[in-house]
A = this chain, B = another copy of it.
Amino acid sequence: MATVELSLPDLAGLAPAQLRQCIRTGQWRHLTAGLAPGYTQANLAIVPRALAYDFLLFCQRNPKPCPLLEVLEAGDPEPREFAPGADIRTDLPRYRVYRHGVLAHEVDDITAYWRDDLVSFLLGCSFTFEHPLLDAGIGIRHIELGVNVPMFITNRACKAAGVFQGPMVVSMRPIPHTQVVQAVQITSRFPAVHGAPVHVGDPAALGIRDLQRPDFGDAVPMAPGEVPVFWACGVTPQAVIMQVQPELAITHAPGHMFISDRRDGELAIL
């Protein structure tokens, strides 16, 4: 039986569980931005149990780039905290399967790759703090332009843990100088999704030479009176995993996130 693909208007107003059902049945294989507004979306990283302790420790030591939302038991595909009943193997629209650090497959279901020793990590995503910024009247340039956020490899080393090490990757958003303090305050309330900025102002302090040449994502223009503000970025843990070249690692495809049952506001402290 052929599955009928849905279009974006069909999905408006659907709850996270309904959206995951559409994704699981192959009716939605596209980007998740804008789906289930107000509900937290998460990055996914899956590694074998033999690497899981070092990776968990890496996240504990580097909470800003690697904000853990949930770590599933080895072999368990159900995120019992963030989406009871969901299945991490089928409920994301697109996955990347890496063998020895090399992208081997891009698929919409990882059931065929599943093993009892795989440990799934759900990590916070900046989508969660961008909504409160927008609600406070702070514009997000890359959203306004419909492009990907610009990301940069910095000169700041993450704290190593076992086999994992590497530089911190940051995302940059231009913020009017009149709103910088508020942007710091708002994102500080969300330590589970990268939290406060790691740097405000001069890109050179992070070893970034040219804001118009990001390492990942798209360049965005800076307007007069705007300050570049840098947040730790979820690309960091993925880059660090790939450097170790594990025999198997699985991640979401960029922008194809896991849609959880938790509301963004639940992740706020204060």
Majority-rule SS of A interface residues: mixed
User: Considering the complex, which residues of chain A in the window 34-82 have a beta carbon less than 8 Å from any beta carbon of chain B?
Assistant: 52-53, 56-57, 60-61, 68, 71, 73, 81
Q: How far is the CA of A215 from the CA of B235 in the complex (A)?
A: 46
Cα A73 to Cα B60 in complex, Å, equals 12
Decide: A57 and B56 in contact? CB cutoff 8 A.
yes
Give bound CA distance, A205 to B242, whole Å: 47
Which of A53, A68, A73, A81: most chain B Cβ within 10 A? Answer: A53
Q: A145 near B: Cβ within 8 Å?
A: no
A125 to chain B, nearest CB (A): 18
Residues of chain A touching chain B, judged by Cβ–Cβ distance below 8 Å, are: 52-53, 56-57, 60-61, 68, 71, 73, 81, 159, 161-162, 185, 188-189, 191, 195-196, 269-270
Closest B residue to A195 by beta carbon equals B269
| Residues of B contacting A185 in the complex (Cβ-Cβ under 8 angstroms) | 270
A57 interface neighbour in B71, B161, B162, B195, Cβ under 8 Å: B71
Whether B270 pairs with A189 at a CB distance below 8 angstroms is yes
Contacts of A61 in B (CB 8 A): 71, 81
Q: Which residues of B contact A196 (CB under 8 A)?
A: 269
Measured in the bound complex, the distance between the Cα atoms of B162 and A188 in whole Å is 32
Residues of B within 8 A of A60 (CB): 56, 60, 68, 71
- With A188-B270, A191-B191, A191-B269 already in contact, 7 other A-B pairs whose C-beta atoms are closer than 8 Å: A52-B53, A56-B60, A61-B71, A73-B161, A73-B162, A188-B269, A270-B270
How far is A236 from B56 in the complex, measured between Cα atoms in Å?
A: 21
A127 to nearest B CB, angstroms? 21
